[in-house]
Amino acid sequence: MDRVFAALTVSRPYLKPVPGTVPLTTLAAVLPPLIYYLALILLPPFPGQRNQQLISITRSVLALVAGLLFFQLPLKYHVPFSVGLTYQLALVGLYGGCRVLDAFFISPYLFGHIPRRVKYHQEPHPESPGILHNRVLSHSYIYLHFLKPREAAVIETAITDEGLPESWKDRASWALELELAMRGAGFTWTSADVRHTKKTWTPTAWDRVHSILLHVLPTLIISLTIIRHIYFCELQTEGGLSLPFDKLSYSKQVLLTAALGGFLMTAFSLGHSMFAIILAPLKPHPLSYFPPLYTTRVWDLTSVRSFWSYGWHRLFSRLFLVYGVWPGEWIERKVTGKSPDQAADIGKVLGGFVSSAFVHSFAAYTVVGGIVRDALGEAEFFAGCGIAVIVEEAVKRLVLSFRRRNRQLSGNLNTVGLEEWYDGIIGRLWWVSVLLYNGRHFARGWVKAGLVREMAGG
């Protein structure tokens, strides 16, 4: 026990926190979510008119205090024994503060919206066993993790509560569920981030255990092995210091980038599945509802856009929607004169990636000693991905237009099925190349911050 306490209180020698920050205290970690929870209890309207003004003022004060405490977490504190946790502290602080502003000021006052509960009901699909097996095999979460389907396909319906909680007991439960629902699962406070697909699935806790054992852990172990090998064989000096990322050969840079990506993907999946297993006994309570993080197998992705839409987790999607996508769409419509019902795809894409770039660069800023230029790798990565999405959409439209015109000139008026067999191959090579090339900016920052060293156990 003494060794554990000593490990938690000794600072990492290579940790470079923002100057002036102090070690995180228990009170500083607990107060923001606790005050946020108390404010959430007061968020649904109370029946009648008594004390409405007092309740409104109390709720707003609690929300402002919670938001302020969240935002100051990464600017005032660091986690002395971990670079990774200091990085995550910045994400939690920024995400939490933005979430509070969204819940208490942006959503209610700009859109008149307070999240309502959504209850999901699943019923067996009325098809023959053979069709059921094929449907599960091609559409279930289980198949995404190489598992044999155990359950039939389902028809899933979502029923939204007509009203908001009124009793204190119901308010307390509602507030806890909403605070813990990072992606908004189980509430109307969602966008496409929760499901982003029409696929259905009914994975059991045992299915998730199999997923961890057969897919997640092997990938995690292989990724960590590569990271350790590259760090100790290529980056660590005899004096125990770390060489810059650019000292690696180009092939090693790409390999380290791929290993870091694999580690992140499986680490998120492991944490998500573990929580789903632990809370599975609560079914059908909303807290047990865990839509899978990834809804499409990696080898089925054919573009950069499909990777970020279906192949990566969408935990921060609400944040990027409110603070990136919506402002980006608004700016594009103002600049181009588009009406509200016209698509603003360029603003949507750039807004989403710019907000993501800021969030991740800010987190990097807190572990590179507060030096802005050393934290720009994440921004360069997401900016490159945003530009790639716009380029690939433009190229796709040009190619399809060219093929359509050629068909019409040849007398073939059928414009359905313009895709060619090699489109998928080109698309896969494209998105993998974009992510590995741009991902080097991300990896460079992680090496500089000491994150790779910590992951390697150096």
pLDDT tens-place string over residues 191-213: 444 444 555 555 678 888 888 88
Question: Which whole-number Å values give the CA distances from 436 to 60, 262, 269, 440, in the listed order?
Answer: 45, 12, 21, 6
Cis amide linkage into residue 284, ω under 30° from 0: yes
Contacts of 214 (CB under 8 A, 6+ apart): 145, 146, 147
Cβ atoms within 10 A of the Cβ of 272, count?
Answer: 21
Helix 345-365 to helix 326-336 angle (10° resolution) is: 140
Cα dihedral: 73, 79, 85, 87 (round 10): 60
Q: What is the largest CA-CA distance in the chain?
A: 82
Which two three-digit tokens encode residue 147?
């598992």
> Over the range 430-451, which residues count as b (16 or more CB within 10 Å of their CB) and which as e?
bbeebbbebbbbbbbbbbbbbb
Predicted confidence pLDDT, tens digits, the chain (458 residues) = 445 444 555 677 889 999 999 999 999 999 999 999 999 999 988 887 678 889 999 999 999 999 999 999 999 999 999 999 999 999 999 999 999 999 999 988 888 888 887 776 666 655 544 433 334 333 333 344 433 444 445 566 667 777 788 888 889 988 888 888 765 566 766 544 444 455 555 567 888 888 888 889 999 999 999 999 999 999 988 777 788 999 999 999 999 999 999 999 999 989 988 988 898 888 777 777 777 778 778 888 999 999 998 888 878 888 898 999 999 999 999 999 999 889 899 999 999 999 999 999 999 999 999 999 999 999 999 999 999 999 999 999 999 988 888 877 777 666 667 788 899 999 999 999 999 999 999 999 999 999 999 999 87
Nearest CA among 340, 388, 375 for reference residue 449: 375
The pTM is what?
A: 0.86
Q: Which helix (H) or strand (E) holds 159?
A: strand 154-160
Nearest CA among 182, 179, 183 for reference residue 196: 183
Tokens 């908001």 belong to: 164
Helices within 337-376 (DSSP H only) = 345-365
Q: Which residues pair with 157 in a beta bridge?
A: 121
Report whether 260 contacts 443 (CB < 8 A): yes
Nearest CA among 289, 260, 247 for reference residue 272: 289
Backbone angles phi, psi at 389, to 5 degrees: -65, -45
pLDDT of residue 280: 84
Dihedral sign, Cα of residue 125, residue 131, residue 133, residue 138: negative
What is the CB-side half-sphere exposure of residue 26 using CA atoms within 13 A? 2
Helix 83-101 to helix 52-76 angle (10° resolution) is: 160
Report whether 52 contacts 46 (CB < 8 A): yes
Which two three-digit tokens encode residue 400?
């399809």
Q: How far apart are CA 412 and CA 59, in angstroms?
A: 65
Q: Which helix (H) or strand (E) holds 217?
A: helix 217-230
Helices within 155-213 (DSSP H only) = 168-180, 205-211
Cα dihedral: 297, 300, 305, 308 (round 10): 10
The alpha carbon of 332 is separated from its chain's Cα centroid by a whole number of angstroms, namely 25
Q: How far apart are CA 301 and CA 314, in angstroms?
A: 16
Nearest CA among 183, 429, 181, 157 for reference residue 295: 183
Question: Which whole-number Å values give the CA distances from 58 to 35, 54, 174, 359, in the listed order?
Answer: 11, 6, 19, 30
Q: pLDDT (tens digit, 9 = 90+) per residue, 29-63? A: 999 999 999 999 999 888 876 788 899 999 999 99
Tokens 């935002």 belong to: 71
Q: How far apart are CA 43 and CA 216, in angstroms?
A: 39
The alpha-carbon radius of gyration of the chain (Å, integer) is 24
Q: Which residues pair with 368 in a beta bridge?
A: 16
Give all strands (DSSP E) within 177-265, no chain letters: none
Report whether 146 contacts 216 (CB < 8 A): no
Which two three-digit tokens encode residue 317?
């999607």
